[in-house]
């Protein structure tokens, strides 16, 4: 059973951080467009997205992800070839910033008796889903996996991966799957139970 598409919760603690980030980005925006006609002044959808700049490429010093042509991707050879060049801007990518700030885009919670008896298999499935996602898009990755006797909690950098993980577990093991969306931003809680 899948429930919850369209329902909402308020994500505690997310909102205040969001406001702070938005204020910071506004300040940056103002600096960035000084001398412009303020035409481009607008809201920022994702405060972790880079604002562009004079450099040809940006490289994340933490995970080696590369930003070029408005896309983030992983390419270790390109990383090694460009990391020391002046045309490369050394930054933290949006995913590494979110990890640093503990600002997840999604949280998946798995629980139930079935989970307790199949923990290793289910964890493997979750990690595989995370690895695949990271290869496709370095901004979509697992931030943390915490487990105790009762549950496994997975934090993801964005809401899409949280949904993908929920769907993958549901597809493999059925059970009950529920999405809870926040109204303020794209944050999602995914709960699976069996």
Nearer to Zn ion, 138 or 166 (CB): 138
If binding is defined by CB under 5 A, does position 177 make contact with Zn ion? no
CB of 148 to Zn ion, least distance (A): 29
Span from 89-97, 111-119, 127-135, 158-166 in contact with Zn ion (CB under 5 A):
89-97
CB of 139 to Zn ion, least distance (A): 8
If binding is defined by CB under 5 A, does position 96 make contact with Zn ion? yes
Nearer to Zn ion, 11 or 93 (CB): 93
Nearer to Zn ion, 121 or 136 (CB): 136
Nearer to Zn ion, 51 or 171 (CB): 51
* Closest to 122 measured CA to CA, from 160, 151, 97, 93: 151
**How many whole angstroms separate alpha carbon 62 and alpha carbon 39?**
35
For residues 150-184, b (16+ Cβ closer than 10 Å) or e, as one string? ebbebbbbbbbbbbbbbbbbbeebebebbbbbbee
CB of 95 to Zn ion, least distance (A): 5
Nearer to Zn ion, 33 or 63 (CB): 63
**How many whole angstroms separate alpha carbon 10 and alpha carbon 122?**
28
CB of 98 to Zn ion, least distance (A): 9
CB of 92 to Zn ion, least distance (A): 6
36 to 75: interface string for Zn ion, x by CB under 5 A:
------------------------x-xx-x----------
Residues within the interface to Zn ion (CB under 5 A): 60, 62-63, 65, 93, 96
């Amino acid at each position: 059973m899948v429930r919850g598409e369209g329902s909402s919760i308020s994500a505690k603690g997310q909102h205040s951080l969001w406001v702070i980030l938005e204020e910071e980005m506004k300040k940056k925006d103002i600096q960035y467009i000084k001398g412009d006609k303020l035409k481009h002044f607008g809201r920022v959808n994702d405060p972790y997205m880079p604002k562009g700049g004079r450099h040809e490429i940006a490289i994340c010093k933490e995970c080696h992800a590369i930003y070029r042509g408005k896309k983030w991707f992983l390419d270790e050879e390109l990383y090694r070839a460009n990391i020391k060049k002046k045309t490369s801007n050394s930054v933290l990518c949006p995913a590494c910033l979110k990890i640093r700030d503990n600002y997840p885009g999604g949280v998946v919670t798995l629980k139930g008796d079935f989970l307790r008896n199949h923990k290793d298999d289910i964890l493997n499935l979750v990690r595989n889903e995370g690895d695949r996602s990271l290869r496709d898009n370095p901004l979509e990755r697992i931030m943390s996996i915490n487990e105790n006797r009762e549950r496994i909690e997975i934090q993801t950098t964005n809401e899409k991966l949280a949904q993908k993980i929920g769907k993958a577990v549901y597809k493999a093991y059925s059970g009950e799957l529920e999405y809870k969306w926040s109204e303020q931003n794209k944050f999602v809680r995914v709960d699976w139970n069996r």
